[in-house]
Amino acid sequence: MIDLQARLSRPLATHPGRGDAIGFVGTDLPIEVLLASGRPFGHLPWRASGPTPWADRWLESGFPGWARSILEQWHAGAFDGLATVVFSRADDASQRLYYYVRELQRRGQLRGPALQIFDLALVPRASSLAHSATAVLDLARALDVSGESLPAGIARANTLRESLQRLQQQRVSQGPWFEWLTRSALWNDPAEWIDEIIVSTAASAPRVLLAGSVPPDERLHRAVEDAGAAIIAEAHGHALGRLGPVLRPAPAESPERAIARQLRAVCVGPRAFLDRGAWLATLASETRAAAVILWLTREDEALAWHLPALRQALAAAQVPTLALPAARWLADDDTCARITTFCKETFR
């Protein structure tokens, strides 16, 4: 049985002695390229409860807590063993953190791995798709991945997608455990161990969908469990289903174009072009959610603009909703208590 807590406590220790590992930061990065590289990889981990005095000297208040934690750990040397870190330009906080790290390295304030940035263009037009396909190839070259290796990367990614979809479909309760699984699959290469995961048999509970910002850990899931319900799906860029459906390249479509098309199609970040109300209402229906929690941290200002449309769409679908805008990332105020109270009142 996979020990998820052990993986979360030492996410960078799964490949001791390797000096070619790849870190990444942000959403909407081509996992096909990472898998095709044959190198260890994972999102840089964050520590929800750790102090960040050094990072606070440099980062403005608009940076989310996970970015502060990553910069603090970077300064402490936690990522010195990585060869490269790839940042996503499609994610605002990731893009800004890239420029801060680059400048701090230039000033000699930070050491650590080389930096890359991946530029996914999301405007729905042909030139943006072409730009994104080029970006996939550019990242592949930077990571010493040949274009001929990309079809194999797509095949491995599709196998991973099927495994993640299977696990998502098995969710009926155990919200905190699935949150550990989601973070483990983000911080480590899940293709190496995901098929060893066995979901234990558990009684089903009232089903709750968590949408909005990425939570720091399982504390929101525990608040729902305290009311006898369970978060059975998440709607954010790092959710268990973040890779989307199986990627099937069109006839004569190049691998890099297929990868770029998939990334643009599954993007749900603040810069994505989608009807968020319709998307969330559909997801609530597909996951058979009996209630939705809209948890939006104060740093996710772009998402807050969509809150009226999200509430309207869920009200039209007659789904009880708790909206928590401008929330603290650590949920160290009354957020958890409000979540528990909402679930108790909804499912009494």
Sequential pLDDT tens for the chain (348 residues): 678 988 898 887 666 556 899 999 999 999 999 999 999 999 999 999 889 999 999 999 999 999 999 999 999 999 999 999 999 999 899 999 999 999 999 999 999 999 999 999 999 999 999 999 999 999 999 999 999 999 999 999 999 999 999 999 999 999 999 999 999 999 999 998 999 998 887 888 999 999 999 999 999 999 999 999 999 999 999 999 999 999 999 999 999 999 999 999 999 988 889 999 999 999 999 999 999 999 999 998 888 889 999 999 999 999 999 999 999 999 999 999 999 999 999 998
CATH of domain 4-151: 3.40.50.11890
pLDDT score, position 34: 97
Q: What's residue 204's pLDDT?
A: 87
* Domain coordinates in residue numbering, the chain: 4-151, 191-346
Edge-to-edge order in the sheet of strand 207-212: 230-235, 207-212, 291-297, 321-327
Structure tokens at 251: 């006839």
Same fold, 4-151 and 191-346: yes
How high is the pLDDT of residue 15?
60
**Predicted TM-score (pTM) above 0.85:** yes
CATH number of 191-346: 3.40.50.11900
Contact criterion met (CB below 8 Å) for 294 and 231: no
